[in-house]
Structure 1
Amino acid sequence: MFKIFILFVFILPCTVKAQFKVDFTVHIPKETNDSLFIAGNFNNWNPKSNSYYLTKKDSLNYFIRLNLSEGVQEFKVTRGSWDKVESKKDGKPIANRTINLNVDTVMEINIENWADNFKQVKELYRFGDHVHIVDSSFYIPQLDKHRQIWIYLPKDYAKSKKKYPVIYMQDGQNLFHANPPRPDEWAVDSVIDSLIKDGSKEMIIVGIDHGGKDRLIEYNPYDSQYGKGEGKAYVSFLVETLKPFIDKNYRTLAEPKNTSVAGSSMGGLISMYAILKYPKIFGSAGVFSPAFWLAPKIYDDLTLSLPSLTNSKIFFVAGDKEGPAMVRDMKKVYDILNPNGTNKNIVFNEKEDGKHTEWFWHREFISFYKFIEK
């Protein structure tokens, strides 16, 4: 026993990724009264984290020193929210900045402009004729809030009398393909149209817009450094208010085997919690790049809930380029649910090129859809 312990002690550190010091100097084009923050895959893309606050050197220059893990890190600079994220000179979105760490690094960043300096063109977007807004201000009694609710109906919906399975998805504002295209869309309607054309099952998608600055608490069932978690009330809203409304007003197959829940990042966390809490409502879940790091209590709750999840179908996916903790934490949840790896209803997908971004989730949505339609 003693020899085994010693071996464990010497092997374990080898599995920990190295940390490197990174000095970021940020130059801005015009003096601002706002504080600057750095948001990336290393902090779950939180646009206003006090731990990632930049120190002001002078009116146009800011600085932060971070210790980041080895490998590819992605980030952007914000002024405290995603409405105030850095942009190109003409206001168009920039791609995520990247840095591949294997040594201590000094990086200079020149901000060309800020997104909020330009008129928003949200009202100019157009969506497919089978994507509709159910309600631009749907009331959530459990939280005393309002949210916009979207719905995708298969193209044959109006011509048929069939009933359809339903997927409830978080971050509804980014789900559907817009014209002109947006850089942050899943385009699930385009994906499903193509899959149906190739013979896949038709389904309805219901999208719920998130709460903006409240997202880190609205999609968290537990309290965290960002505030008191509202996720339990939010999931109750899905089950007690939204689903009954959708089932009443649309032709749905309402039983668990035809009801799914899905989302990414914080949306992945709350989707996992939804099926954990209500396995007799949601028969399957799509857990994309889940933010389990912000909710460690979920491991205990999952362990206690194992017997009720026997027949659940759960699809996990994350990428190696999302930071060292993402795949590790997701694997921990998977191992709780499927310790022997023999349950084909619980699948684990690790993608070498996967990034914490919509194009990755758009691509992986195909596999999720085919998984739940079986």
Structure 2
Amino acid sequence: MPNNHKRLYLFLCAWLCAVTVAFAQYTVTLRIVQQPALHAEDTIFAAGNFNNWQPADGRFYFVKQHGYLSLQIKNVPATVVEFKCTRGDWGKTESALAGADIGNHVISITGDTTIDISIAAWKDDFAPVVKQRTVSPNVHILDTAFAVPQLNSKRRIWIYLPPGYHAGNEKYPVMYLQDGQNLFDASTAAFGEWGVDEILDSMVKKGAPSCIVVGIDNGAERMQEYNPFDNEKFGKGKGKAYVDFLVQTLKPFIDGHYRTLRSKNRTIIGGSSMGGLISFYALLKYPDIFGRGGIFSPAFWTADGIKKLTDSAGNKLTGKLFFYMGELEGGTYVNDMEEVVETVAKKSDAMIYKVIDPEGQHNEQAWHKWFADFYRWIMEDGFNNAIRLDK
């Protein structure tokens, strides 16, 4: 058992004891009581935190019953269910009357529940909204087709250089973040951006330590590339090869072309959902490369082997780990993360900052909300100033 003073627990929610596995199982019935006449014959699906937001999941579609389009979801624990209706594609999701995006339906399940849904309009019946670019001047595209030999593919790579980078000779820590298209620019983010560049510009201006951020776009096989384990539904896991790419190809390139601090405690990795899963796996697989990590809403449920790997390899973790989950993502996902965090706490000397946000959802807005806290904490102790080349 590692010494307690080597670990830091920040339990931010007093209600934590309420987030336990519920033994009761309930039936949730969704009924569409109103929808536009256009596309009335199309199949409508529910996509939510109960099926990893798959927009055309054949297990969750509405059928005509008792005068309504209904969908019955059985064996739901006492949790929070969050979903949207689609016609099989995220480009064909329900919207407001004028085509604007709407929030998710959010239901707290405490018993058998019937929910009536009114669909005002479908997003694809309106002209696409042209998203404005929101990227900071400190961000540029490193390459639109950076070679990924381990996966026989190519990927767009973004890089954020700290304010004043080109005017000095300092070396900087490097943070590698997954799902690069969602980090910096609203025009490339399907569901909103994290706003990493604006957050860091503001924090550095106020005296926070600086950092280089490398954003790696996800590919068409995101569910496989961000999973180190095979999954019956999503296919063969390619996460080991992806993490090998980060360590063997991308990091050497970044270190060779930019002024970086290369030690493990100056190398950070992070991501959300599947990106959170693969970032945590990278910490376990390469503990001598990645010393610090941000694991946001990790999709541990897709990786049957992650808990066993944490148990066997967690003792190698010695750095700082930030874990986030929103309560509104669902009790099962919260419990999965709790189990992994507890194992890391028991096995390792790692410092842990854990957040369970009672209002948090599984989206970019939630990850944006907590990114500054993550960054402030992960950059503490010895990160207060960049190290000059001559030191």
TM-score by length of 2: 0.83
Structure 2 residue 287 is matched with structure 1 residue 279: yes
Provide the secondary structure at the position in 2 that maps to 1:239.
Answer: helix
> Aligned partners of 1:137 and 1:86: how far apart in 2?
34
**Is contact 1:331-1:348 (8 Å) kept?**
no
Q: How far off its partner does 1:50 sit?
A: 3.0
Residue equivalent to 1:41: 49
Q: Tell me, what secondary structure is at the counterpart of 1:52? A: coil
**2:235 maps to 1:239:** no
- Return the letter of the residue paired with 2:369: R
The reply to whether residue 70 of structure 1 matches residue 78 of structure 2 is yes
* Partner residue in 2 for 1:371: 377
Shift of residue 182, structure 1, vs aligned partner:
8.1
Quick check: 1:351 aligned with 2:357? yes
Which letter does structure 2 place at the counterpart of 1:274? A
Residue 198 of structure 1 aligns with an amino acid whose one-letter code is K
Q: Secondary structure at the match of 2:156?
A: strand
Partner of 1:9: none
Is the Cα contact below 8 Å between 2:21 and 2:331 reproduced in 1? no
**1:112 corresponds to:** 120
Higher relative CO (CA 8 A, sep ≥ 6), structure 1 or 2?
2
Which residue is equivalent to 1:88? 96
Q: More displaced, 20-29 or 350-359?
A: 20-29
> Relative to 1, partners in 2 of residues 1:78 and 1:100: Cα closer, same or farther, differing over 3 Å?
same
Partner in structure 1 of residue 31 of structure 2 = 25
Q: Does 1:151 align with 2:156?
A: no
Long gaps (5+) in structure 2? 1-19, 381-391
The amino acid that maps onto 1:364 is W
Alignment map for 1:96-245 (pairs within 5 Å): 96-121=104-129, 124-176=132-184, 178=186, 184-212=192-220, 214-224=221-231, 225-245=233-253
Which stretches in structure 1 are left out of the alignment for 5+ residues?
A: 1-13
How many residue pairs end up in the alignment? 357
**Quick one: structure 1 residues 55 and 254, their matched pair in 2 at CA, closer, same or farther if it must change by over 3 Å?**
farther
- Residue of structure 1 equivalent to 2:345: 338
C-alpha separation in 1, matches of 2:148 and 2:188? 31
2:263 aligned partner, one-letter code: E
**Partners of 2:135 and 2:185 within 8 A in 1:** yes
1: distance between equivalents of 2:134 and 2:355? Answer: 33
Q: CA deviation at 1:344?
A: 5.8
**What's the secondary structure of 1:329's corresponding residue?**
helix
Secondary structure of the 2:203 match is helix
Q: For the residues of structure 1 that align with 2:154 and 2:23, how far apart are their CA atoms?
A: 43
Deviations 1:193-230 (A, max 9, x none): 22212221100111112225x32222111111211111
Q: How far did 1:179 drift? A: 7.7
Between stretches 260-269 and 319-328, larger displacement belongs to 319-328
- Superimposed CA distance per residue, residues 309-335 of structure 1 (whole angstroms, 9 cap, x where no aligned partner): 2x2321111122210112211111111
CA distance in 2, matches of 1:269, 1:180: 22
Q: Is the 8 A contact 1:177 1:188 kept in 2?
A: no
Moved more, 115-124 or 247-256: 115-124
Greater share of residues in helix: 1
Structure 1 residue 287 displacement after superposition = 0.7
SS in 2 for 1:339: helix
| AA at the equivalent of 2:106 | T
Letter in 2 for 1:349: V
Contact map agreement 1:91 1:114 (CA 8 A) in 2: yes
Percent of aligned pairs with the same amino acid: 45
Q: State the superposition RMSD in angstroms.
A: 2.7
